[in-house]
């Protein structure tokens, strides 16, 4: 009995050590973040994180423990093969999750969950998203981890099982089954009421430290099992009456709008340009004295620049409905991926079409990606131009046709076009892997340099497009809105809020004034109501959207990410982590009421998503 019980302990201990090593690798891979931590915090990562390692080790040990319990009835060779095969497959899967997670966190700022599985329906685009990652290094790391772990497992199994002798079943089976049942304690994380969850291992005000304490394998499988909130809102913070009062406070309105369009333009053409990964940080950055976006910075003098805009979410599939439907992004879901829900959203293209506008949407990539196509079709765009509509010779990006090609196609199609029109152009060249069809402007082959070069290229393409558009007959009656689909972590500042701060610029001959800056805090979701009020259309259906030019609307913005939210008010910034139920970033004097306002938005917005 002693040898078998010893084997169970060693087997369980293998998984615990395996996950401890994985955490060391995670900290080493993200060494720049790790160097900012104190030794006490690093110790806290391991001390708190080991509880989740114990939990995952418990899950993975159940089947081998049961096999050992009845080992007297199984041939040694067969038992060895079963346990080794089972463990090898789990090591393979766990290694894959651990290695992929290294780059997922590098890109998105959170652990791998079930989210990327949505994109496997469009493998080419999914590959384009990851192809800028250090794939060779990651593959080598995966291979080394797999070989080393497998050899250790093989050694543990053969060294122990080969030496087992026949023992009396009567005392051993109940003892081993009892030990197997005891795994429920580390699996649940305690003997208390609350089971293991991510917040169990959260311990620090530093969010990177909290994330490092989470076991990525546990996190991934947890998201598969619990990631779909079909009926229950996990963000229930406030009672109904308090919730309603807070929402009402945030959405005060006078139903008056200050007009910024020329009075003689009754039905202006509207063109919305959605710039991939565009962040305000880039517009303010110089490299060796050279601006990253010189053309955009010049255009700001010709239009109305909104200097305090915020993205609603962290991905394109969240940004599109935020801009076109005034609908807030969800932290752990995306409404655009669920056609039965997204079809219920109001959308600008329908409102303009109902007002005798022609409508079209231009994108150089695959609109099937992230289920964008179903959203566009339900939005009744009369014309959708995507990758397949460009000659294959122009598919020089992994995503499809580069931005300058798409802009030229739009101009060619709109040389003679029925006016008024409502159009949308979505760029793609500044998406990973940041490849561009022109020589690099800034030296460097690292991700940061590639991102800056991609931004510079799109900026030049946009500038050339605006130059050409000004010569078109439709320009004097046109409003152009340039806005990001979401922000980006590059250039890294360590401030979550700045990753969601984006530029927005209104241009065109339809504007009554030029060279204005609007410092009022606003969000992507406010574009719909603001635009419709400017052109004299009803914005009632866009109940999440505020009219920026209504003098009574309050200046605030809200954004969500996986798994948290940010709430911005004048001289106040807060970022709340939904997992640890704590603030992870604060700026300014924040009251309990301010926190409750953010929580009210998170609670009501997600409930609205569930109710769709």
Helix, strand, coil share of the chain (percent; to 5)? 50, 15, 35
Q: Which residues contact 259 (CB under 8 A, 6 or more apart)?
A: 512, 534, 549
Q: How far apart are CA 253 and CA 547, in angstroms?
A: 8
| The two structure tokens encoding residue 307 | 């200097």
Q: Which two tokens stand for residue 580?
A: 């640890």
Count of beta carbons in the 10 Å neighbourhood of residue 17: 14
Sign of the CA dihedral with 549 first, then 323, 406, and 413 last: negative
Dist CA 84 CA 208 (whole Å): 35
3-class secondary-structure state, position 398: coil
Q: Checking DSSP bridges between strand 269-275 and strand 421-426, what pairing results, if any?
A: parallel
The Cα–Cα gap between 84 and 284 comes to 56
Is residue 553 part of an annotated ligand binding site? no
- CA-based nearest residue to 523, from 538, 504, 537, 505: 504
Among the listed residues 274, 483, 293, the one whose alpha carbon sits nearest the alpha carbon of residue 363: 274
The count of other CB atoms within 10 Å of the CB of residue 317 is 22
- Nearest Cα residue to 453 out of 443, 463, 466: 443
State how far the Cα of 102 lies from the Cα of 369, in Å rounded to an integer.
24
The distance of Cα 112 from the centroid of its chain, to the nearest Å, equals 11
Q: Are 105 and 133 in contact (CB under 8 A)?
A: no
Does residue 314 have a known ligand-binding role? no
Q: Hey, CA dihedral for 105, 107, 112, 113, is it positive or negative?
A: positive
Strand partners of residue 290: 287
For residue 316, indicate whether it is catalytic: yes
* Cα three-residue angle 536-557-241, rounded to 5 degrees: 95
From the list 228, 200, 304, the residue with the least C-alpha distance to 261 is 304
CA distance 393 to 401: 9
Lookup result for tokens 């932290």: 331
CA distance 129 to 398: 9
Catalytic member of 115, 279, 316, 530: 316
Neighbour order of strands in the sheet with 572-577: 557-561, 564-569, 572-577, 582-587
Asked whether residue 431 is marked as a ligand-binding residue, the answer is yes
Q: How far apart are CA 353 and CA 350, in angstroms?
A: 5
SS3 490: coil
Residue ranges of the annotated binding site for substrate are 431
Catalytic machinery residues: 316
Q: Which residues are annotated as a binding site?
A: 276, 316, 431, 485-486
Binding-site positions for Mn(2+) read 276, 316, 485-486
């Amino acid at each position: 009995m002693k040898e078998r019980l010893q084997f169970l302990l060693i087997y369980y201990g293998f998984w615990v050590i395996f996950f401890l090593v994985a955490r060391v690798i995670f900290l080493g891979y993200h060494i720049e973040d790790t160097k900012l931590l104190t030794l006490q915090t690093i110790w806290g990562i391991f001390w708190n994180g080991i509880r989740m390692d114990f939990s995952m080790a418990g899950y993975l040990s159940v089947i081998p423990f049961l096999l050992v319990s009845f080992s007297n009835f199984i041939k040694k060779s067969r038992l060895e093969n079963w346990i080794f095969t089972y463990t090898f497959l789990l090591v393979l899967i766990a290694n894959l999750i651990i290695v992929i997670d290294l780059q997922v966190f590098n890109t998105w700022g959170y652990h791998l969950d079930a989210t990327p599985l949505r994109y496997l329906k469009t493998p080419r685009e999914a590959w384009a998203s990851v192809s800028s990652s250090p794939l060779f290094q990651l593959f080598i790391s995966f291979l080394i981890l797999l070989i080393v772990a497998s050899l250790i497992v093989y050694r543990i199994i053969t060294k122990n099982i080969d030496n087992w002798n026949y023992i009396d079943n009567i005392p051993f089976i109940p003892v081993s089954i009892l030990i197997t049942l005891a795994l429920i304690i580390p699996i649940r994380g305690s003997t208390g009421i609350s089971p293991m969850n991510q917040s169990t291992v959260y311990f620090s005000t530093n969010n990177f430290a909290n994330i490092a304490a989470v076991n990525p394998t546990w996190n991934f499988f947890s998201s598969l099992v619990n990631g779909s909130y079909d009926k229950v809102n996990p963000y229930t913070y406030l009672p109904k009456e308090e919730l309603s009062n807070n929402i009402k406070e945030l959405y005060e309105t006078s139903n008056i709008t200050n007009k910024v369009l020329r009075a003689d333009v009754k039905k202006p053409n509207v063109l919305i340009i959605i710039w991939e990964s565009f962040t305000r940080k880039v517009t303010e950055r110089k490299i060796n004295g050279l601006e990253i976006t010189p053309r955009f910075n010049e255009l700001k003098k010709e239009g109305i620049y909104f200097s305090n805009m915020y993205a609603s979410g962290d991905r394109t599939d969240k940004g599109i409905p935020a801009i076109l439907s005034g609908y807030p992004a969800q932290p752990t879901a995306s409404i655009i991926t669920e056609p039965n829900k997204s079809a219920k959203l109001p959308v600008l293209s329908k409102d303009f079409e109902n007002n005798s506008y022609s409508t079209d949407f231009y994108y150089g990539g695959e609109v099937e990606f992230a289920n964008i196509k179903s959203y566009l079709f339900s939005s009744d765009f009369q014309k959708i131009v995507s990758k397949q509509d460009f000659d294959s010779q122009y598919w020089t990006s992994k995503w499809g046709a580069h931005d300058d090609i798409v802009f030229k196609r739009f101009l060619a199609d709109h040389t003679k076009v029925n006016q008024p029109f409502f159009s949308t152009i979505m760029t793609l060249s500044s998406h990973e892997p940041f490849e561009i069809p022109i020589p690099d402007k800034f030296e460097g082959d690292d991700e940061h340099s590639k991102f800056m070069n991609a931004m510079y290229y799109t900026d030049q393409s946009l500038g050339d497009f605006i130059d050409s558009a000004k010569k078109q007959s439709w320009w004097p009656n046109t409003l152009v809105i340039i806005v990001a689909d979401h922000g980006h972590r590059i250039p890294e500042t360590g401030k979550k809020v700045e990753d969601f701060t984006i530029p927005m610029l209104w241009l065109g001959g339809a504007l009554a004034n030029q060279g204005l800056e609007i410092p009022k805090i606003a969000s992507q979701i406010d574009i719909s109501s603001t635009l419709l009020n400017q052109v004299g259309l009803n914005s009632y259906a866009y109940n999440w959207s505020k009219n920026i030019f209504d003098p009574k609307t309050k200046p605030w913005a809200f954004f969500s990410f996986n798994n948290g939210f940010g709430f911005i008010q004048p001289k106040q910034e807060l970022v709340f982590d939904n997992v640890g139920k704590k603030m992870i970033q604060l700026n300014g004097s924040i009251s309990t009421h301010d926190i409750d306002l953010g929580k009210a938005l998170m609670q009501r917005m997600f409930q609205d998503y569930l109710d769709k």
